[in-house]
Amino acid sequence: MLTFLGIDIGGSGFKFGWGNSRSGLQYFSSLPLVEKNLAAFHKVAQAVLDEAERRLGLEKLSGIGIGTPGTIDAHSGLITGINPNLPFWVGRSPLELIPAETGLNVRYDNDANLMALAEAKTSGLRNVLGITVGSGIGSGLVIDGKIFHGAHGFAGELGHICMVKSGALCNCGLQGCLEAYSSVDGIRNRLEEQSPRFKGMDLSKLLSLRDSDPVVRDHIAEGLRMLCLSVSQVINYLDPEAVIFGGGAMDLGLYSLSELSSGIAANLAPLNREATLIKAAHYGNRAGVMGAIMLFESDF
C-alpha cells in the first residue's frame, strides 16, 4: 500500500500523520502554532516535513493531503471570505506550505469536508453530513461518495445559516448565525455580554460551571437547541444516511450524542426519524488527518 502524509490545520496548531485507509495511521502527532501569522504557519509546516523526513523519509510518501479552515474558492483555489481565527490565511493557497523541491504532489480541501469524507468512507456510507463543533461550527457534505463543494466551492457552511433574525453578531459579520450560538466562541462571547468574569474562559472551565451556574447552563442549552434544529432541517431537506459529529468541543463533552440524537429527532419529519443515523466521529480529532490522506488516495 502507498503511504500518504495528511495535515490538518487548526487555529492552535497542526495535526499530522501518515498512513493509508487500509492500514490506518502509522504515525500521528501535532505541533502548536505559537504565533498566528504567515511566517509561523510556514515554520510549523516545515517542522511537519522535517519530522516526516526524520521518522519516515519523504521519498517514501506518495503525496500530501492538507485540510484547512476557511472557504476555498473553486476557481482560484484560494482561501476566501472571512477567516476570523486565521485572518492572515485569507487569499492564500495551502500549496505554498509545501516547497516544490520536495517533488511531492499536494491536494487540499476544507477541514470539515475532509472529516466528512473520512467518516463516510470508514462507515461505508455514500451520503453523509459531517459536523465539527469547536471554536466555530464546521460542516462538510459527502454526496454519492464525493465531497459536495457547490458551484463556487462555498457549500456546507452550516455554521452560517441564520437561526435568529437580527440576532447575535457572528465572527463572519452576519447576525444570528448558528455559530454565534452553538460554537465555543459563540457561547463564550454571549456569556461575556452577561458578565466580564467569563472573558477568556476556556471550555473546560465553562463546562465545570454548567451544573452550578444557571447562566452557563442556559447558554449551553440554547446552543444545543439551535444546533439540533439546524441539523434536523438539513436532514429533512437532504436525507443523508448519517450525521456524524466531531471536533474538540464534542471530545470535551459540550454536547452529548444522546442529547443531539433526541433533540434532532424531535424536529424531524416522521420518515427520517428512523432512517438517519446520528453518530460520533470514528476517528475523533484524527478525522481531518485521515480525510486528507483519503482525499489523495482517490487518485490511486
pLDDT score for 299: 60
What is the average pLDDT value for the chain, to the nearest integer?
94
Question: CA-to-CA distance for 94 and 232, rounded, in angstroms?
Answer: 33
The closest of 148, 145, 111, 142 to 129, measured between CA atoms, is: 142
**φ, ψ at 211 (rounded to 5°):** -75, -30
**Do residue 13 and residue 98 come from a single domain?**
yes
pLDDT score for 298: 67
**Do residue 158 and residue 265 come from a single domain?**
yes
Q: Report yes or no on 35 lying in a domain.
A: yes
15-49 pLDDT, tens digit per residue, is: 999 999 888 999 999 999 999 999 999 999 999 99
pLDDT score for 81: 86
pLDDT score for 229: 97
**Do residue 141 and residue 165 come from a single domain?**
yes
The 10 Å CB-count burial string (b at 16+, else e) for 124-155 is ebebbbbbbbbbbbbbbbbbeeebbbeeebbb
pLDDT score for 85: 79
pLDDT score for 83: 84
**Do residue 278 and residue 290 come from a single domain?**
no
**Do residue 154 and residue 51 come from a single domain?**
no
**Do residue 109 and residue 209 come from a single domain?**
no
Q: Report yes or no on 120 lying in a domain.
A: no
**Do residue 293 and residue 278 come from a single domain?**
no
**Do residue 271 and residue 290 come from a single domain?**
no
Region of residue 98 (left: phi > 0; alpha: psi -120 to 50; beta: else): beta
Along the 300 residues of the chain, how does pLDDT read in single tens digits?
A: 899 999 999 888 999 999 998 889 999 999 999 999 999 999 999 999 999 999 999 999 999 999 999 999 999 999 998 887 799 999 999 999 999 999 999 999 999 999 999 999 999 999 999 999 998 999 999 999 999 999 999 999 999 999 999 999 998 889 999 999 999 999 999 999 999 999 989 999 999 999 999 999 999 999 999 999 999 999 999 999 999 999 989 999 999 999 999 999 999 988 888 899 999 999 988 999 999 999 988 665
**Do residue 138 and residue 227 come from a single domain?**
yes
Q: Report yes or no on 195 lying in a domain.
A: yes
Q: Report yes or no on 121 lying in a domain.
A: no
pLDDT over 90, % of the chain? 88
| DSSP E strand stretches across the chain | 4-9, 13-20, 24-32, 64-68, 71-72, 79-80, 106-110, 128-133, 137-143, 146-147, 242-246, 277-280
**Do residue 153 and residue 84 come from a single domain?**
no
The closest of 36, 38, 28 to 12, measured between CA atoms, is: 36
**Do residue 240 and residue 139 come from a single domain?**
yes
Q: How many domains does the chain have?
A: 2
Instruction: Provide the CATH number for the domain around residue 253.
Output: 3.30.420.40
pLDDT score for 300: 56
Order across the sheet with 146-147: list the strands. 146-147, 137-143, 128-133, 242-246, 277-280
Question: CA-to-CA distance for 31 and 181, rounded, in angstroms?
Answer: 29
**Do residue 175 and residue 75 come from a single domain?**
no
The closest of 218, 214, 294 to 20, measured between CA atoms, is: 294
Structural domain boundaries enclosing 136: 126-282
Q: Report yes or no on 180 lying in a domain.
A: yes
